[in-house]
Structure formats: C-alpha cells, structure tokens
Amino acid sequence: MPKVFALGATRGLGEAVSAALGQPLAPLEERGFEDGEHKARPMVSVRGVDAYVIQSLHGGPDESPNDKLARLLFFIAALKTNGAARVTAVVPYLAYARKDRQTKPRDPLTARYVAQLIEAVHTDRVLTLEVHNPVAFQNAFRCEAVALDCRGVLLERAAALAGEGAVTVASPDPGGVKRAQLFREALETRIGRSVGFALMEKRRSAGVVSGSLLAGDVQGARVLVVDDMIASGGTMVRAAQAVRAAGARDAWALAAHGLFTQGAQAAIADQAVAGWIVTDTVPPFRLRGDPVADRIETISAAPLFADAIRRLNGNLPIIDLPAAGS
C-alpha cells in the first residue's frame, strides 16, 4: 500500500481521503519557528515507498497559497531525500492555474512557473481536480499530470436536480464550453434523456466584466450552470439572471472549487441562483458565521481522490469518464 500524507492546512480533507482509502494517514511532524520558517518531516521510513502528499493551495485562513506551496515543495523534497521511490503531489485546488497565458504585454506565465517549481523537487506526478484549462495544465508540466474533473463529484447531484422536467447545462463563459459540454453528455447518459445546452457571453477587461448575449434554449428548463470555480460569484449570478430572463424555471450554480472571495456574500444571497453546489477542495472559511452559507451545499471530493490514488497505485485507468480535455 502507498503511504499517504496530509499537511496541516489540508488535514481535514486528507483524513477524509484516508478514510475512503481504508488506511490511516502516515504520520508527519510540522514545526514553525519564531522567524516564520518551518519544517516538515515524515515520522516513518519512506525508503522505496510510493508516497502521496495532499495539500490544497488555496489562500487562507492562516497561510497564503505561497506558504502552502513552499511547505508542499519542502516536504516532497524531504521524502525524496529520504529515499521515497515515487512521490505524487495531490493538489485538490491548484493555485495560479488561471494564469496560463499572456493577456497583457510582458505578463508572467505563472502556471508554468508553479509547474517548474513542483518539478524542481523531483515530483513524479501531480494529481488535481478541475483545472481552469486542462490543455494548458498538461502542457505546463513535464512530469505526469492528472486532472480529475467535477463530473466525478457533482454528476449524481446534478442527476437528482434534473428530476423529470426539462434540464439544460450552461457554461457561464466561452472558456468553459468544453467543460459544460462534457458535463452535459455525462448527464444525458446518467439520466437517459436529452439535456439542453446554453452559453453565456463574457468579456473581461481591466477587471470589468461585460457581455450579455445568451445562446441556447432554456425556456421552462432547470439550468445547471457549471464552472471550474466560484470566486466572487458574480459570473454565476450574471448567467443565472440571463437564463431566468430567457424563461428558465430556475438556475443552479455548480463548481468544483468554492473560493468565495470578497463580495461573494451578496452574490450568494442573490435569489437569481436557486442554490450553490461546490466540493470541499477549499473550506468555506470566508463564510463562517454568515447566514448566506446556508445556501451552499458541499459535496466531498475525498472519494474521488481516494479512487484515483487506488487506481494509480494499481496502474489502472483513473476514471471511467473520458478525460476532461477530450
């Protein structure tokens, strides 16, 4: 069996993954020092083992994405220094994945730089969930890069929402069309009937979002707006308002990662969205104590990651669904 470690910032999700695997997390020590430095080390021998390290790279509540990335890199390097045969970085939420191309003169390609840092400590494989752009993700890494997609977590809930009436899957922007199309196809297979498709126009310049065109027939349908992440929630609200104005019965927001950054409270409270559904790759710490948190449903991604680890360790195909970029 492989050894599975979870660093402190992602301990809760790590314990859920280990429970789904049916084996305890491998013990490790993490220490912080007065000047802000830190160290982490495995408390068991890792010589010759296949090791998995779980660390989600979201910001907060106590550590920035940069802090979490540094801790992940140092721990992977420690495993390699102490003889681990193979190390997989299990990164439920991969920071900086959105910055995968130059949109302004002299822009950085931060997604590639993060990949280079992860590879620099001799990481053998990266496993994550629902990256912003699967093609850019795969091209950024030279080690094995595996991106699970949100169908593996959200499909059953979507099938329940579909019920017996008309249902449509919508992308809230052109960049998410492939993701929404694949989700639609999987949902059609799951419920055994036709599912509609819609697309919302979106343009962003200098932080200002515009675009109001909606393509697709949503009249009388329950619309499932599918995206990789929810930050402020404004994109989901815009899409929900558009489909409701076009005659949709209601609109639900589904995404892998719920960041719920500044301003998200107002978006979540907006009644244009009937409900918000995310996974637990990012804990909802920014909404603790806020009544709007009751409108968010969280589905655990732990069984999906546990199954991926089990299959990778047995050299089996990751999932039965087609790859996210196919």
Number of H helices and E strands in the chain, helices first, is 9, 16
Per-residue model confidence (pLDDT) at position 204: 62
- Going by pLDDT thresholds of 50, 70 and 90, the confidence category of residue 315 is confident
Angle separating helix axes 177-191 and 151-162, nearest 10 degrees: 60
pLDDT tens readout for residues 69-125:
999 999 999 999 999 999 999 999 999 999 998 988 999 999 999 999 999 999 999
pLDDT tens readout for residues 42-76:
999 999 999 999 999 999 999 999 999 999 999 99
- Going by pLDDT thresholds of 50, 70 and 90, the confidence category of residue 318 is confident
Just list the catalytic residues: 202
pLDDT tens readout for residues 255-314:
999 999 988 999 999 999 999 999 999 999 999 999 999 999 999 999 999 999 999 998
Per-residue model confidence (pLDDT) at position 169: 98
User: CB within 8 A of 102, min separation 6: which ones?
Assistant: 109
Per-residue model confidence (pLDDT) at position 210: 54
How far apart (Å, rounded) are the C-alpha atoms in residues 110 and 96?
6
84-112 per-residue burial string, b: 16 or more CB within 10 A, e: under 16: bebbbbbbbbbbbbbbbeeeeeeeebebb
Q: What amino acid occupies position 300? A: S
- Going by pLDDT thresholds of 50, 70 and 90, the confidence category of residue 322 is very low
What does DSSP say about strands 214-215 and 275-279: parallel, antiparallel, or unpaired? Answer: unpaired
Contact present, 296 and 278 (Cβ < 8 Å): yes
How far apart (Å, rounded) are the C-alpha atoms in residues 204 and 164?
37
205-224 per-residue burial string, b: 16 or more CB within 10 A, e: under 16: eeeeeeeeebebebeebbbb
pLDDT tens readout for residues 2-42:
999 999 999 999 999 999 999 999 999 999 999 999 999 99
pLDDT tens readout for residues 152-189:
999 999 999 999 999 999 999 988 999 999 999 999 99
Per-residue model confidence (pLDDT) at position 211: 61
How far apart (Å, rounded) are the C-alpha atoms in residues 293 and 296?
5
- Going by pLDDT thresholds of 50, 70 and 90, the confidence category of residue 203 is low
Of 265, 266, 233, the C-alpha closest to 251 is: 233
pLDDT tens readout for residues 221-239:
999 999 999 999 999 999 9
Whether 131 has a pLDDT exceeding 80, the answer reads: yes
Contact present, 2 and 49 (Cβ < 8 Å): yes
DSSP string, 269-310: H-TTSSEEEEESSS--GGGTT-GGGGGEEEE--HHHHHHHHH
How far apart (Å, rounded) are the C-alpha atoms in residues 70 and 126?
15
Average pLDDT over the chain, rounded to an integer: 93
Of 116, 130, 119, 120, the C-alpha closest to 56 is: 130
Contact present, 251 and 280 (Cβ < 8 Å): no
